[in-house]
């Protein structure tokens, strides 16, 4: 029996808090499998510690050290560290009517649109979209496109787009026209779960009548293409269990494929880094350090090059700390002259219900100022206001 009092007594409050964070991933897994009615727990104002421990007691109690390693290393993919939450007393018909009035009035009431669309989850926004279509016979996204402009329009349309469709369109845009936005491809394919990737691939085909794999194949080449296709298949292991023996074996394989031979066996790097779970990879990188006396990042930089190198470094960064990786992407989008709105919109919208709070914390930790202040100094008008609402506060 997993005893709460023993946990607090043996580990202390600080480590108990760490355990609470580690176990929150288990809670997400359980929630996704619809085995726990979280709404009823929230309504009863259950403290998160009890909810998390309940999940662990009943289904996900770690067995042994290396399952704890998996829990502590997992890049959080749940829905509990976002800035957007279900709006209480939500009524899609009331919201649809308010949006319609805001659009049809003399001049668009942007503040009404911002207030509604940034205070509802995507699931709630999809109900508004459906209600809007049923009541007025028009697509909400089309009315937004017709009434708004610029980056503000793009951001508002993104908010009313289903997540898988949004990601599919981001991938298409990254491969559209002259040249390919390799960094956008890398970001999306390294930060989505296997389940998300399968949904994105399905949405991509539905929207464009072409497979995601075919477009990746036609727009990229070599080892970079091979690795992207492996990620796009959505076959990465997402088990919480970490096998110490296999991690040591994989570390040796990586060492033999690069540092310990003449030339590089790129396929081994692709196979391990694109298919193993992130918790497993983090332990593998620790074992690699023990074997080679070098960090895996240094070996990748020395052995590989180009976009393939960029992709593998992104995977390593995500395995170590996904929110920090995304914070770095946001920092790059906001720094210097001009703003990369393509990246800014994508991360702010796609992570708003997942881990934006953690991204904010990593941003402040690494760059010494808040994401909120960076957005405020780099954007303006209704676009700025919408981004700040999604950001959810200053740090």
Domain shared by 256 and 294, yes or no: yes
Summarize pLDDT for 290-307 with one digit per residue, the tens.
999 999 999 999 999 999
pLDDT beyond 60 at 140: yes
User: Residue 73 falls within a domain, yes or no?
Assistant: no
Domain shared by 172 and 155, yes or no: no
Domain endpoint, select from 205, 232, 259:
232
Q: Which helix (H) or strand (E) holds 144?
A: helix 140-147
How far apart are alpha carbons 104 and 108 in whole angstroms? 7
User: Residue 238 falls within a domain, yes or no?
Assistant: no
Domain count, the chain: 4
User: Residue 201 falls within a domain, yes or no?
Assistant: yes
| More confident of the two residues 79 and 388 | 388
Rounded to two decimals, the pTM is: 0.81
Domain that holds residue 219: 163-232
Domain endpoint, select from 111, 144, 159:
159
How far apart are alpha carbons 285 and 157 in whole angstroms? 40
pLDDT number for residue 337: 80
Domain shared by 149 and 173, yes or no: no
| Counts for the chain of helices (H) and strands (E), in that order | 23, 0
Summarize pLDDT for 17-43 with one digit per residue, the tens.
334 434 444 444 444 433 334 444 443
User: Residue 49 falls within a domain, yes or no?
Assistant: yes
Q: Token pair 């950001």 is at which residue?
A: 391
Domain shared by 148 and 175, yes or no: no
pLDDT beyond 80 at 376: yes
User: Residue 328 falls within a domain, yes or no?
Assistant: no
User: Residue 367 falls within a domain, yes or no?
Assistant: no
User: Residue 148 falls within a domain, yes or no?
Assistant: yes
Domain shared by 167 and 154, yes or no: no
How far apart are alpha carbons 26 and 20 in whole angstroms? 10
pLDDT number for residue 14: 39
User: Residue 155 falls within a domain, yes or no?
Assistant: yes
Using left for φ > 0, alpha for ψ between -120 and 50, and beta otherwise, residue 75 falls in: beta
- The token pair at 57 is 């007691």
CATH code for the domain of 187: 1.10.220.10
pLDDT number for residue 65: 36
pLDDT beyond 60 at 116: yes
pLDDT beyond 90 at 313: yes
Q: Token pair 């990254």 is at which residue?
A: 174
Domain endpoint, select from 263, 289, 304:
304
């Amino acid at each position: 029996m997993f005893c709460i009092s023993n946990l607090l007594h043996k580990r202390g409050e600080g480590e108990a808090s760490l355990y609470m964070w580690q176990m929150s991933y288990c809670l997400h897994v359980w929630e996704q499998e619809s085995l726990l009615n979280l709404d009823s727990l929230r309504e009863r104002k259950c403290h998160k510690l009890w909810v998390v421990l309940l999940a662990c007691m009943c289904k996900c109690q770690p067995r042994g050290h290396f399952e704890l390693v998996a829990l502590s290393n997992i890049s959080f993919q749940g829905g509990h560290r976002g800035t957007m939450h279900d709006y209480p007393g939500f009524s899609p018909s009331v919201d649809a009517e308010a949006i319609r009035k805001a659009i049809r009035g003399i001049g668009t009431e942007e503040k009404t649109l911002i207030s509604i669309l940034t205070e509802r989850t995507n699931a709630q926004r999809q109900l508004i979209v459906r209600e809007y279509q049923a009541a007025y016979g028009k697509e909400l996204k089309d009315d937004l496109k017709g009434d708004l402009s610029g980056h503000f329009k793009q951001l508002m349309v993104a908010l009313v787009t289903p997540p898988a469709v949004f990601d599919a369109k981001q991938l298409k845009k990254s491969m559209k026209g002259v040249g390919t936005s390799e960094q956008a491809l890398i970001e999306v394919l390294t930060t989505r779960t296997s389940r998300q990737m399968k949904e994105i691939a399905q949405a991509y085909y539905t929207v464009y009548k072409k497979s995601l794999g075919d477009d990746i194949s036609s727009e990229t080449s070599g080892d970079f293409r091979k690795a992207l296709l492996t990620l796009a298949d959505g076959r990465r292991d997402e088990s919480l269990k970490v096998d110490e023996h296999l991690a040591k074996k994989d570390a040796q394989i990586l060492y033999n494929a690069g540092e310990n031979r003449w030339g590089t066996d790129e396929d081994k790097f692709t196979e391990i880094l694109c298919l193993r779970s992130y918790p497993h990879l983090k332990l593998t990188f620790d074992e690699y350090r023990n074997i080679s006396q070098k960090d895996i990042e240094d070996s990748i930089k020395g052995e590989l090059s180009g976009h393939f190198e960029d992709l593998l470094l992104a995977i390593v960064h995500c395995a170590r700390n996904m929110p920090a990786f995304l914070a770095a992407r946001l920092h790059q989008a906001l720094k210097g002259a001009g703003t990369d709105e393509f990246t800014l919109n994508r991360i702010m919208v796609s992570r708003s219900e997942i881990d934006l709070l953690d991204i904010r914390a990593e941003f402040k930790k690494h760059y010494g100022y808040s994401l909120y202040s960076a957005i405020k100094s780099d954007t303006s008008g209704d676009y700025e206001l919408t981004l700040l609402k999604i950001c959810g506060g200053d740090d």
